[in-house]
Chain A
């Protein structure tokens, strides 16, 4: 049974590395000052929001600018449902409501732009952000207005999470569950379908995938995670942050997390979220004041410069290259080992497949877009053909025995 889930762990990462990571993630709060533990909880929640946005930005190839409004809506709605002067209901009810509302709102944005993409989605989600700012955030009953509200941290399943350490563990556990679920989703047929829709909608449609459906699904998952982050933010701060924290500019800050980290690695999203949360505080202790927004802006610039694969993709590429180069050195030039990403097949040693091979195409004017000359097109002859394209993959088609029909005569 557990074997079905073994693909969550990368075969390229040794077991001890996972153990060490777990030990550090759980142990550092035992020795860290209280303020840093609190920041750790905030970083976990930023990571959950970042992962949510990563589904839309990295996996669906769209940009949502409504993220801060969705987080804020969930913060205030959960707070209102849970707090004593609100509905005074259990935390899980508030959390469920926050997640549900954010999911529905984000899905609605996707529905409205189902056949569109790019700039239209950005504008519509920005419109959703502004609409929420002017409607939901103006309800003093929800936000507490200028007075502010107090919220106690929850007790769940008989466990109290009042201390910062306990709440950090709760946030870290939720983050771990989110990472596992997203990894499993990404490896499922639905995750592959989402990536194919991002690559090309028509190609996805040609193999039976509805691009509209998957776009809406991406926004729904993203909305759910943004709502989850918001619902847990309410008790983290005990007194939910002011609505200034959830205005349009905050959406750009949230967007910076997946843009900086890239779409390749969920771990990179978590590390970037921790960096964005901890770096300004760390620098402040050194006497350097740096606004988190500046960090976010630098992240956006970095992510844009690196490209869609972000820092995570760049690092993974280096590691992959390093691994293959080491193998090349051992086996000799012109040989490399193909390291599969799943358990379907064993590593294969093949010839002449360099890790990075420049691809050349037929130059313009020498066959035009790789097409053959007119003479060749009509089958008169093969003289004057465009120069052959670079091959060198060792993938030349092999001669085959007669087909079944031919064999039958």
Chain B
């Protein structure tokens, strides 16, 4: 048996910048220069419950950090599921990087460059941080069943790149010290970061984040949103964020869409949304004043 030693090519230089460079090389270039994600006239009903009522237009421009807010039951997650492909809309269309994907499966959308996280953590608690991150690199590693099992040259090279990228992502998310630690030994906030990291490892150009701060305290929530914002800016990602933590959305997102009872009640800059009477009525219970 040979002693396992670190591969020289896996050495990652010190610092965040080195990690960013490694990760940028790992994820595919996005050549599409139009609006990455467009949802039009989307409706969805579950039996008699109308979860979405002809939401006219949701756009996620390139390199933008878009917020989607609304009270509980507003239809945010349903809209996310429609955009992501887990739910097929009754009416309307979803255009992803210029392609109509309304009827396409979520994994096909992921191949186009979309990824998402979930409200609850869906990581394997019995795997290490590293293995969880690496699982996200599925579509960026070449190799069919036999090539991957028997480590073909191309597959081996991609595996090495993915491992280095996983380490880079771990560094960017401050998970590097616990790469080899089982996820169940980590606290909830760290697990959230693993989930975000796994999504990043799939090489998205468009990232949908469904309440990434759910379950973490306010301090960590603020830092987590700032971290995601930072990564979005550094990597040039387009991000659509659902978040109950409205303050974080207001500070980081533009534009912001507001849903209430399945209807789009406002859209615009943070200031426009904050001053919108419908939004204030929806959130603060203030009565609408009509001029």
Task: Report if A344-B116 is in contact (Cβ < 8 Å); known contacts: A181-B149, A404-B234.
Answer: no
A376 to B221 CA separation, bound complex (whole angstroms): 11
Residues of A within 8 A of B (CB): 2-7, 9, 11, 15, 18, 181, 184-185, 188-190, 192-193, 195-196, 198-200, 202-210, 217, 264, 309, 313, 338-348, 350, 353-357, 359, 361-362, 369-372, 376-379, 382, 385-398, 400-401, 403-406
Task: Report if A208-B126 is in contact (Cβ < 8 Å); known contacts: A359-B187, A378-B284, A386-B217.
Answer: no
Which of A190, A206, A397 is most buried by chain B, counting CB atoms within 10 A of its CB? A206
Which residues from chain B contact A4 at a C-beta distance below 8 Å? 151, 156
**Interface of B: prevailing SS:** helix
Q: Which residues between 106 and 160 of chain B lie within 8 Å of chain A, taking CB atoms? A: 106-107, 110-111, 115-118, 122-124, 126-128, 130-131, 134-139, 141, 143, 145, 148-151, 155-156, 159
A117 shortest CB reach to chain B, Å = 15
Contact between chains at B234 and A405 (CB < 8 Å)? yes
Contact between chains at A393 and B187 (CB < 8 Å)? yes
Q: Which 3 A-B pairs have the closest CB atoms?
A: A379-B247, A370-B215, A208-B110
A92 to B154 CA separation, bound complex (whole angstroms): 32
Which residues from chain A contact B247 at a C-beta distance below 8 Å? 376-379
Contact between chains at B190 and A393 (CB < 8 Å)? yes
Contact between chains at A338 and B181 (CB < 8 Å)? yes
Which residues from chain A contact B177 at a C-beta distance below 8 Å? 338, 348, 350, 353, 394-395
Contact between chains at A199 and B123 (CB < 8 Å)? yes
Looking at B5-13, B44-52, B88-96, the stretch in contact with chain A turns out to be B5-13
A369 to B120 CA separation, bound complex (whole angstroms): 11
Which residues from chain B contact A357 at a C-beta distance below 8 Å? 185, 187
A365 shortest CB reach to chain B, Å = 15
A262 shortest CB reach to chain B, Å = 10
Task: Report if A199-B124 is in contact (Cβ < 8 Å); known contacts: A207-B110, A208-B111.
Answer: yes
Residues of B within 8 A of A (CB): 1-7, 10, 16, 20, 84-86, 105-107, 110-111, 115-118, 122-124, 126-128, 130-131, 134-139, 141, 143, 145, 148-151, 155-156, 159, 163-164, 166-167, 174-181, 185-190, 193, 195, 198-199, 201-202, 214-221, 223-224, 227, 230, 233-234, 244-247, 250, 283-284
Contact between chains at A389 and B187 (CB < 8 Å)? yes
B84 nearest CB neighbor, chain A only: A206
Which residues from chain B contact A206 at a C-beta distance below 8 Å? 84, 106, 110, 115-118, 199, 202
A129 to B61 CA separation, bound complex (whole angstroms): 54
A149 shortest CB reach to chain B, Å = 36
Contact between chains at B1 and A18 (CB < 8 Å)? yes
A222 shortest CB reach to chain B, Å = 14
Contact between chains at A377 and B124 (CB < 8 Å)? no
A356 to B118 CA separation, bound complex (whole angstroms): 25
A406 to B230 CA separation, bound complex (whole angstroms): 9
Q: Would you mind naming 14 contact pairs between A and B with Cβ atoms under 8 Å apart?
A: A184-B150, A189-B137, A189-B143, A189-B148, A205-B107, A207-B198, A209-B139, A341-B131, A344-B166, A357-B185, A377-B247, A386-B217, A390-B187, A393-B178
A379 to B247 CA separation, bound complex (whole angstroms): 4
Contact between chains at A195 and B2 (CB < 8 Å)? no
Contact between chains at B217 and A388 (CB < 8 Å)? yes
12 new A-B contacts at CB < 8 Å, known A207-B110, A348-B179:
A7-B4, A185-B149, A192-B138, A202-B106, A338-B180, A371-B214, A371-B244, A378-B247, A379-B247, A389-B216, A391-B187, A404-B234
Which residues from chain B contact A344 at a C-beta distance below 8 Å? 6-7, 10, 130, 163-164, 166-167, 179
A17 nearest CB neighbor, chain B only: B1
Contact between chains at B138 and A209 (CB < 8 Å)? yes
Contact between chains at B136 and A199 (CB < 8 Å)? no
B142 nearest CB neighbor, chain A only: A189
Which residues from chain B contact A3 at a C-beta distance below 8 Å? 2
Contact between chains at A205 and B218 (CB < 8 Å)? no
Task: Report if A370-B246 is in contact (Cβ < 8 Å); known contacts: A338-B181, A344-B6.
Answer: no
A198 nearest CB neighbor, chain B only: B124
Task: Report if A190-B245 is in contact (Cβ < 8 Å); known contacts: A6-B2, A355-B185.
Answer: no
A304 shortest CB reach to chain B, Å = 17
Which residues from chain B contact A398 at a C-beta distance below 8 Å? 174
B238 shortest CB reach to chain A, Å = 14
Task: Report if A406-B189 is in contact (Cβ < 8 Å); known contacts: A206-B115, A207-B115, A372-B244.
Answer: no
B180 touches which of A7, A341, A400, A404 (Cβ 8 Å): A341
Which residues from chain A contact B6 at a C-beta distance below 8 Å? 343-346
Contact between chains at B175 and A339 (CB < 8 Å)? no
A188 to B131 CA separation, bound complex (whole angstroms): 11
Which residues from chain A contact B163 at a C-beta distance below 8 Å? 342, 344
A165 to B116 CA separation, bound complex (whole angstroms): 55
Task: Report if A202-B214 is in contact (Cβ < 8 Å); known contacts: A344-B167, A393-B186, A406-B233.
Answer: no
